[in-house]
Amino acid sequence: VTACMKEVLTSYLMIFITYSVLTLISLSLSLSLSLSLSLSLSLSFSPHLAYPPTVIVMVGLPARGKTYMSKKLTRYLNWIGLPTKVFNVGEYRREAVNYSSYDFFKSDNENAVKIRHQCALAALRDVKSYLTDEGGEVAVFDATNTTRDRRDMILDFGGVNGFKIFFIESVCDDPNVIASNIMEVKVSCPDYQDCNKNDAMLDFQKRIECYKAAYQPLDPDRYDRELSFIQVIDVGRRFLIVYYLMNIHVQPRAIYLCRHGESLGNLQGRLGGDTGLSPRGRKFATALAGFVEQQKPRNLKVWSSQLCRSIQTAEDLGTPYEQWKALNDIDAGLCEDLTYDEMKERFPEEFALRDEDKYYYRYPSGESYQDLVQRVEPVIMEMERQENVLVICHQAVMRCLLAYFLDKSAEEMPYLKCPLHTVLKLTPVAYGCKVESIFLNVEAVNTHRDRPEVGSQSANRRPSKGLPPSWMLFTLLLCDLL
């Protein structure tokens, strides 16, 4: 489902890579895909730190899930530290003209064709500005891009500016999937804000027919054999080659996040450690079991860390649960089991450095929040695959997970409020997450520290931003593409 590409990561390979931390791997694979396309894949990890900015170009007819995937990918790439932004050409078009009907998208409507072309150029100008002047590393160009002329224009744009171009084409002929997407997303978009659903549905279907008349799908065997791209069939139902996209699904579900019950270490104000629950923590474990019974989520999966306080919290649920080492609390290294006052007294410089840049600061012989993001990446991948899941973890870990689902920046992440004895219920909705905070009426200590007012000096032992972890989606995929 892809043309000549140097680095294409299959799901099985990605699972292996997930657990190889910055290991230099070189291997060759040969496999035959279900779509009767044989590929020779070679993958090599090189220790270079610089890679060119990349433009991910969406391709496909309307109502094929392009915007959904664009936003999902952007959220993920930002979460792992790659500054990424979506440029939706439809938004540029809505700023330029008021929508009237599907006639605007007819290929013989010369005036409309010019306007749509100018909107695409305006979006590309902003892409260039973002990648060259604003510190962006990945831009997602979200539009139909259904003609070879449009795609050639984008390729020329990338060549002139030194950007790598990578295409993702969403192909879908399932009428149920298309109708569902139109009803759930498109009829409520700004184009149809003053239109009833039936009229909007009819107009949008005619819009699709306008695009179909000029649609030139990516051709891996002839015209597009030199390009790098992925084709997604029926919104991922048939075949997906990228690990992260493989885990995208849109079924209704809930993600429950909570910390362990209050621990003895929490009562003493200590960092990390492996203490058990306090009496109030045990009350919370009982209350959590009652909450889950009341919610009755279907096929609920329960995950905990491997630390005592998290396990004790999960045990009261009376249901099987999985222990994830990746969910363990942030490693405070030499500061483990210290209170903040003790850390400030013994390691005053470390204490100050942590306050200056909490995301990048790494405890001596321990971890940073950036390290933690890389550690919990496999958890995120698995969470995206699940239906309903309850994750019992720790403050820093919960912040990382919450930052991903709520699209929070690295700067915001270490200061997100994740109080004890409170469950956050996340319900994925179109392009985002609905959040409900449920306090289970068991008092607990407050472990939150607000952001201090300090200078802007960078912390030492700051992890290199240039060399990404081996399992990062697209980081290596977007490097050295042919």
Where do the H-state alpha helices sit in 251-278?
264-268
Q: What is the pLDDT along the chain (482 residues), one digit of tens a residue?
A: 333 332 333 333 333 322 322 222 222 222 222 222 222 222 333 333 345 788 999 999 998 888 888 888 888 888 878 899 999 999 999 898 887 788 888 888 999 999 999 999 999 999 999 999 999 999 999 999 999 999 999 999 998 998 988 888 888 888 887 888 777 766 667 777 778 888 888 888 899 999 999 999 988 778 887 777 788 776 555 433 434 444 555 567 899 999 999 999 999 999 999 999 999 999 999 999 999 999 999 889 999 999 999 999 999 998 899 999 999 999 999 999 999 999 999 999 999 999 999 999 999 999 999 999 999 988 988 888 788 999 999 999 999 999 999 989 999 999 999 999 999 999 987 677 889 999 999 999 999 999 887 554 444 455 444 333 433 344 333 333 32
CATH of 255-439 given 3.10.560.10, 3.50.50.60, 3.40.190.10, 3.40.50.1240: 3.40.50.1240
SS3 169: strand
Question: Domain ranges in the chain?
Answer: 11-246, 255-439
CATH 3.40.50.300 fits 11-246, yes or no: yes
Q: Is residue 253 within 8 Å of residue 240, measured between CB atoms?
A: no
Segment (H or E) for 31: strand 26-32
Q: How far is CA 359 from CA 38, 93, 318, 369, 410, in A?
A: 43, 38, 36, 5, 6
- Return phi, psi of residue 57, to 5°: -110, 120
Token pair recorded at residue 123:
């979006």
Cβ-based neighbours of 145, under 8 Å, separated by 6 or more: 57, 58, 59, 60, 151, 154, 167
**Separation CA 184–CA 324 (nearest Å):** 35
Rg from Cα positions in the chain? 24
- Per CATH, 11-246 and 255-439 having the same topology is answered yes
Number of H helices, E strands in the chain: 15, 13
Residue 107: count of CB within 10 angstroms of its CB: 12
Starting at the edge strand found earlier in the chain, the sheet holding 164-171 runs 84-88, 138-142, 54-59, 164-171, 229-233
